[in-house]
Amino acid sequence: MSESAGQLADLRGRVEALLAAHDPATSDRLDFLRARFDAGLAWVHFPEGLGGLGLPRSLQGYVDELLARAGAPDNDPRRNGIGLGMAAPTILTFGTDEQRRTFLRPLWTGEEVWCQLFSEPGAGSDLAAVGTRAVPDPHDPGTWVVNGQKVWTSSAHKARWAILVARTDPGVPKHAGLTYFVCDMTDPGVDVRPLRQITGEAEFNEVFLSDVRIPDAHRLGAVGEGWRVANATLMNERVAIGGHAAPRESGMAGVVARTWRERPELRTPELHDRLLSLWVEAEVARLTGQRLRQKLAVGEPGPEGSAMKLTFARLAQELSGLELELLGEEGLRYDEWTMTRPDIVEFTGRDAGYRYLRAKGNSIEGGTSEILRNIVAERVLGLPSEPRVDKDIPWKDLPR
Amino acid sequence: MTTPPTSAVPTPAAASAAASAAGDPAGVDAAAAPSGGGLDLLYTDVEDALRASVRDLLTARCTPDAVVAAYDGDRSLTATLWKALAVDLGLAGLLVPEERGGAGASAREAAVVLEELGRFAAPVPFLTSAVVATTALLASMDDDLLVRLAAGERTAALVVPLSADAAGFRPVVRVQEDGTLHGRVTSVAGAVEADVLVVPVATGGGVALHAVEASAARVDHVVSLDMTRPLADVTLDGVRGELVVGADAGADAVRLALETGAALMASEQLGVAQWCLSATVGYLLERRQFGRVVGGFQAIKHRLADLYVVVESASAAARHAAVTAAEQDPDRTVAASVAQAYCSGAAVRAAEECVQLHGGIGMTWEHPAHLYLKRAKADQITFGTPGRHRALLGELVDLPA
């Protein structure tokens, strides 16, 4: 593989220089993060000048570790998962130089949180059917006017920007009439309303767009290319969800294992074998993710990430379900139904009942498991798609 | 095959580079290793070249027609194929250090060979002789037998039931005061092909290993579920052997041999599963019913997608077991049990799906699917069942019953 002792030594030198110029103990957090970005140590696989050094993705862990050891603040990536995991790589791939310069730095530092305006009440798995319209303003050339409704929007209430897929040409088949934009969430036409979920809390939102104005300079990719751009985003999402670096027993397996160890009185032989089956599967999933990351170290996310996400969702659901059974009578209780707006979503947070219910979302968000199986079957295994009745029909003529 | 005799065998330098190369700066600077980077689970160029040599040879010589003949009593393929692999390609000595007459490679390379052998359901005693018996004999002080095994001049079998696992094995053969061996061990794999038997013997001081000429023992061939790895019942009735590993070291040698067998058989199971998946996808891209390619029906696609996920997962588990064994990583025992607990089921599922999704032709003798089903099901029981490995893991990772 590509990294060498020389690369590591060079990185270590750059980290030391950053720390020397900006002592984490005395620097302002944001100043430090901006300096880190400017030193190319934010995401080393990004190009120089955009927070990176054009190095293999696999070297990032080395930088993170050195900085963590020095007590440097991080950019709290959990607060801006969609920005870091989805918007950033899409902007890098499809954005203009101006867009990259404008958006990437405050995105990475966390000054600006991003959300995703993709799914709609009438377009979930069939994302290409979105009906939110973007129309050029006849009185203001260079501006689009957007109307529609989006759902399942995490972080919309905190977001400064959104990545948005909208229909710009209803007269052509659905995949061909889409365009991808960056939407200003502070526009007066953006109305964010909490959407309560089965857990009781409102982690997501509905977003109503009424005459929202978007300058053409905030279009990502060509008019009509939105589907291709959105697909690149979704591949990144699946990698982000399914393939993060992790030690053994991280995630749901660790939660259930801890309960098992701490509560010997709850154990039964039947639960023991199920626990170990799932523990083995979780360990294998961890190794599979590690292997996938090694494959991706110099490459782009591919459909293999969809496979990881399938496994992750199933294991989170089975493990959290097992934990409720293990807890028995305690599993009948729930911590809190009051509607809250969580700041950070922790799949393994709160109590076992919450974890069980929240895990149900894992096989729906970021592509349902059914759609992911189609992706694996078609793009990895090369199997044909089902016959599509809507493929050649203009979007406006589709039955709905 | 015109491959020069040693071209398939990695040099020790290349093998050690393979072991330390790749996606992990830890190899260069362990003090600042990234969390979760981990051991290199991919294949090195050396391993790819080794795989290509083995695959070329098996493609030419190990055809399904020749393999299936073993079930009808014609085992002629085994001897010629094993000689080509063991001697011509030099694979018998992969796990033997150079200074002891071997190739000085590691479990990483042996695992790649096993993937290919699994992919062809090859009826050769690589796992039993070159991996299990050889690993046991690495504890021997006398290199004579090891050198000859590494050269492919002799073929050995560790005389244990194929279902024995590293943690639970107890020898049944006894040594009498006159030095003769007595006992009967059932369901021994590799004994049919072996000319020397490595026999774990219970003594007062522990487990000793004796090398016995196969011709001196009674080796009763058994009609086996998997005739590509045929079993035999071995009876020792007053036979004399040569002490090769003393009672102080034999138990550890057998444990390591069976653990290494379990760890590396996961790669064979991976090869079986990969063949089953690709054969099934290939068939379903051609087979038409209802005017459509059958592989286009969503009910079928979802099953194959799930199977792909299983096979990819098995490859990570198998690779991890091989790499930890190669590096003598402290995690190797856990990794071996994780790999067996996962890959056994993965191979069986792939083979069962292969039969089912081939429909009628999948149930026939003429289609090779059954070779893989029989291998997969027998492998599942070999070196401990998945349930046994889960139980072992419960102890190893502090999740007690």
Residue-wise burial string across B34-72, b where 16 or more C-beta atoms lie within 10 A, e elsewhere: bebbbbbbbbbebbebbbebbbebbeebbebebbbbbbe
Residues of B in contact with A294 (CB under 8 A): 22-24, 40-42
Report which of residues B252 and A2 the model is more confident about. B252
CB contacts of A388 in chain B (<8 Å) are: none
As a whole number, the mean pLDDT across chain B is 91
- Whether residue B9 is predicted with pLDDT greater than 50 in this model: the reply is no
Check if B395 contacts A (Cβ < 8 Å): no
Lowest mean pLDDT of A163-172, A198-207, B12-21, B341-350, name the range: B12-21
| Contact at CB, B338 and A277, closer than 8 angstroms | no
Nearest residue in A to B41, CA atom: A291
Mean pLDDT of B88-94: 97
Q: Which of B330, B343, B328, B322 is nearest to B389 (CA)?
A: B343
Asked if B22's CB is within 8 angstroms of A293's CB, the reply is: no
Domains and CATH numbers, chain B: 12-27+35-155 (1.10.540.10), 158-249 (2.40.110.10), 252-396 (1.20.140.10)
Mean of the pLDDT values across residues A112-117?
97
What is the Cα–Cα distance from B313 to B339, expressed in whole angstroms?
10
Residue range A227-235: average pLDDT?
Answer: 88
Contact flag A374-B309 (C-beta cutoff 8 Å): no
- For B318, the closest chain A residue by CA position comes to A284
pLDDT of B362 higher than 60? yes
Q: Please determine, looking at this structure, whether the domain spanning A114-224 carries the CATH number 3.60.150.10.
A: no
DSSP state of A59: G
Asked if domains A114-224 and A231-380 share a fold, the reply is: no
The pLDDT value given to residue B5: 37
The conformational region for residue B316 under phi > 0 = left, psi -120 to 50 = alpha, else beta, is alpha
pLDDT band at A186, cuts 50/70/90? very high
Q: Which of B296, B391, B398 sits opposite A383 (nearest CB)?
A: B296
Q: Where are the domains of chain A?
A: 5-74, 114-224, 231-380
Q: Inform me whether the C-beta atom of residue B26 falls under 8 Å from chain A C-beta atoms.
A: no
Token pair 């599967």: residue: A281
Grade residue B114 by pLDDT with cuts at 50, 70 and 90: very high
Q: Is B391 on the interface with A (CB under 8 A)?
A: yes
ipTM of model:
0.89
Catalytic residues of A: 237
- pLDDT at position B162 over 50: yes
Q: Which residues of A touch B399 (CB under 8 A)?
A: 257, 260-261, 272, 275-276, 279
Please report the pLDDT score of residue B36 as a whole number: 38
Domain A231-380 CATH (choose: 3.40.640.10, 3.40.140.10, 1.10.260.40, 1.20.140.10): 1.20.140.10
Identify the closest residue of chain B to A62 by CA–CA distance: B34
Residues of chain A neighbouring B111 (CB-CB closer than 8 A)? none
Cβ-contact B14, A44 below 8 angstroms = no
Pairing relation of β-strands B242-245 and B206-213?
antiparallel
- C-beta pairs of A9-16 under 8 Å, 24+ apart in sequence: A11/A41, A11/A44, A11/A53, A11/A55, A11/A59, A11/A62, A11/A63, A11/A66, A12/A66, A12/B32, A14/A39, A14/A40, A14/A41, A14/A53, A15/A41, A15/A63, A15/A66, A15/A67, A15/A70
Asked whether the predicted pLDDT for residue B25 surpasses 50, the reply is no
Residue A141 C-alpha from the chain's centroid: 33
Mutate to test the interface with A, among B45, B274, B313 (most CBs of A within 10 A): B313
Whether residue B298 and residue A310 make contact (CB cut-off 8 A), yes or no, is no
**Checking DSSP bridges between strand B231-240 and strand B218-221, what pairing results, if any?**
antiparallel
| Among the partner residues A276, A288, A293, nearest to B399 by beta-carbon distance | A276
pLDDT tens digits, B321-330: 999 999 999 9
What are the φ and ψ backbone dihedral angles of B366, each rounded to 5 degrees?
-70, -25
Q: Do B32 and A310 touch (CB under 8 A)?
A: no
Quick: pLDDT tens for B373-393.
999 999 999 999 999 999 999
**Could you give the CA distance from residue B265 to residue B118 in angstroms, rounded to a whole number?**
9
Q: Residue A5 — pLDDT band, cuts 50, 70, 90?
A: confident
Residue spans of alpha helices (H) in chain A: 5-21, 29-38, 60-69, 81-82, 88-94, 97-109, 226-242, 252-262, 269-296, 304-327, 352-359, 369-375
Whether A246 shows a pLDDT value over 90: the answer reads: no
Tell me if B25 and A260 make a contact (CB, 8 A cut-off): no
Q: Considering only CB atoms, which chain A residues are within 8 Å of B294?
A: none
Band (A297; pLDDT cuts 50, 70, 90): low
Assess contact for A207 and A158: CB atoms under 8 A: no
Per-residue confidence band for A301, with pLDDT thresholds at 50, 70 and 90: low
